[in-house]
Structures are given as C-alpha cells and as structure tokens.
Amino acid sequence: DGGITQSPKYLFRKEGQNVTLSCEQNLNHDAMYWYRQDPGQGLRLIYYSQIVNDFQKGDIAEGYSVSREKKESFPLTVTSAQKNPTAFYLCASSIDKGRDTGELFFGEGSRLTVL
C-alpha cells in the first residue's frame, strides 16, 4: 500500500539535544512538507521541498533543519536552538506538477516531548 511513514511515533528528548524525525513516502510524490501542530492552533509549515536536493523555509523554520537527498525521504531535525519543540509534527506529500489540487497526504505524525 502506498503511503507516508513517520517514525518514531512518540519521542522524548532532553533539553539541549538534537532529534531527527523520519519521513518516508512511496507515493512517488514530488513535494514533501513538514508541519507543526500545537493545541488550539492550525498546522504551521516548517519546511517544504518540491524536488530532490532542494528545500525552502516555511513560516516557522527557525531551530529546524531538513534534507532531501532522495525523492522518498525528507527527514526533519529539531535542533537545540528550537525554543519550544514540544509539539505534534506532521509530514505530508503532494503531487506538485505546477498547479496541483491542494490535496496533501499526511503521515500519522510524531509526537515530540521535551523533558
């Protein structure tokens, strides 16, 4: 079955540690995204990538880094510079051939808690 796989589902981290969240898709989608969701707030875009070896900052990129070495993979690193990293992180993908439908396919999310 095609889809998006995020891991780990739950992650605990001590302050000052970097952590990397994995996102893999087998939908053959060109575009991939990372969103953050906090209680009572909408999803906010952290980074996105429309093609391999290229990515762009979203609205809240500070304290995060990404890479896109393969079409299928778009890992997100939450660095120690991120002031409030505890959140629900969602990876998504879409067909992005210019003007697309706007439909995003999401992974099941990674819930990060900083202790």
Residues at the site binding other proteins, with contacts judged by CB under 8 A: 31, 33, 35, 40-45, 48, 50, 56, 58, 88, 90, 94, 96, 98-104, 106-109, 111
Give the residue from 4, 1, 2 showing the smallest Cα distance to 107. 4
Nearer to other proteins, 19 or 104 (CB): 104
Smallest separation, CB 88 to other proteins (Å): 8
- Measured CA to CA in angstroms, residue 37 lies from 27, 98, 110 at distances of 23, 26, 10
Nearer to other proteins, 35 or 64 (CB): 35
Smallest separation, CB 16 to other proteins (Å): 27
Nearer to other proteins, 58 or 63 (CB): 58
What is the per-residue DSSP string for 82-101?
-S---EEEEEEEE--SSS--
Nearer to other proteins, 17 or 28 (CB): 28
- Measured CA to CA in angstroms, residue 4 lies from 33, 97, 99, 113 at distances of 11, 19, 22, 22
Smallest separation, CB 19 to other proteins (Å): 20
Residues in the chain: 115
